[in-house]
Amino acid sequence: MEASKERASAVLGAGARGHAQRRAARLQQEEQAMQASVIQAQLRGRRERINPTAESNVRRARSEKDPAMQSAAYLEQHKIIPLLELLAQKLLIERPADPRAYLVGELQALHTVADPASPRHFFSDSDIETLFQMYSVASTRGLTAGQCREALDALGLQHVATPPAPVDLAAFKASIPAI
């Protein structure tokens, strides 16, 4: 009985060692295969970059001549999409009787502006006054430096310096970049 237990233990131990060895060999083989594919990809990539007739280079040259790609690059370079979005926002907010004349006027105004991304394009004077009043509810003397900072942040002006407190409406408007 004792001998059969030892024999069974030896067989199970050998099986466990064999399993561990097979698993280690499989993991090593997978690692070698991964390293080989990385080396092959690097060589293939280097050959592709050097060879002007390689498929990726031909595709890149073809896409540079593609009118759709050229159009997308033009729109991005000249920031046409943000301009159209700005004009559409203003048009929907104002709802003028003559939209074409309104858009012509807005484009002429934008043409003379130093900073087209100024918040003054999005917010009217009454909007800025309302924002000032919202932050100065508790104080009759004006905004504290913290309140002014929060109001400027609400306008998207994190880079603008906060004027010294107390900040009245005129100083608040003066701190907003003009159009």
Please report, for the chain, the start and end positions of each structural domain, with discontinuous segments joined by +: 2-63, 73-111, 119-175
Q: What is the pTM of this model?
A: 0.42
- Segment 114-135, tens digit of pLDDT: 566 666 566 777 888 888 888 8
Terminal CA-to-CA distance of the chain, rounded, Å?
A: 99
Q: Is the pLDDT of residue 179 over 60?
A: no
| pLDDT tens profile 85-103 | 888 988 998 899 999 999 9
Residue 174 has pLDDT above 70, yes or no: yes
